[in-house]
Amino acid sequence: MKANIPALIFGLTSRSDGIQTMEGRFMRAIIEKRAVMIATTLSLTAGCAMQSAETGGTANQIGNIPANVVALADPNQDISTARLLPDDGCFWYEHRGPVETTLVPLRSPEGNPICAAREA
């Protein structure tokens, strides 16, 4: 007799003539639904994770900012993590606080945000 691992783990029972009992069919349906939900969840989250890899281009890479932007920026900011965000056309850098790391607008010594020139 071949051992039925799901039957042993989840308590699926069958009669001696090979027909599953009502309890066995109910448990099998629960297991199949759970497997479908897990597969769907993994597929959806994998698709979300792939989107962040698509934001590319050399202009948007961390630390790849023009020399004139470096000259404009306040010296108390971490220029090595600065990047141009295409959403607003401004430069942002990573501020590493005691609890979390947050993107903050790159600012001049006067406090003005530094943004790229907009195309007409």
Distance between CA 1 and CA 16 in Å, rounded? 12
Distance between CA 88 and CA 90 in Å, rounded? 6
- 8 A C-beta contact, residue 65 and residue 84: yes
What pLDDT sits at residue 51? 43
How far are the Cα atoms of 93, 98, 104, 110 from residue 114, in angstroms, in the given order? 11, 25, 11, 11
What pLDDT sits at residue 38? 86
Show the DSSP H helices in the chain as ranges. 5-10, 22-54, 67-72
Q: Which residues of the chain, if any, have pLDDT below 50?
A: 50-56
Distance between CA 101 and CA 103 in Å, rounded? 7
- 8 A C-beta contact, residue 15 and residue 7: no
Domain spans in the chain, listed from the N-terminal domain onward: 5-54, 58-105
What pLDDT sits at residue 14? 55
Q: Is-above-0.85 flag for pTM?
A: no
